[in-house]
Amino acid sequence: MRLWLRDDERRPDPVPVKTDDRRAVLVGLGLWVIALVVLLVFGVGTGTWMWTIVVGIVLGILGLGYLTIARRH
């Protein structure tokens, strides 16, 4: 097996698969919200866990915003 192929020996790149990235972000965001509700209802931990969940939710919202803007262009 060779590590390098000439351009005329290469097979063409596969066609990119169409995916719904917004759905994946929404599922993740929903899981973070469920984790927040569970943490608040049962009061399991407040310090590090709470901030981890809040950061997960904020990053999910930012990712959703980015995907919304990227979809328009």
Give the count of alpha carbons within 13 A of 6, CB side only.
2
Contacts of 2 (CB under 8 A, 6+ apart): none
Report the number of distinct structural domains present in the chain. 1
Residue 40 included in any domain: yes
Residue 1 included in any domain: no
- DSSP states along 2-41: -S---GGGSPPPPPPPP--HHHHHHHHHHHHHHHHHHHHH
Residue 71 included in any domain: yes
Residue 52, domain extent: 29-73
The reply to whether the predicted model has a pTM over 0.85 is no
Residue 11 included in any domain: no
Tens-place pLDDT, residues 20-61: 899 999 999 999 999 999 998 887 767 888 999 999 999 999
Residue 39 included in any domain: yes
Residue 6 included in any domain: no
Predicted pLDDT of residue 28: 96
Residue 9 included in any domain: no
Count of CB atoms situated within 10 Å of the CB of 68: 11
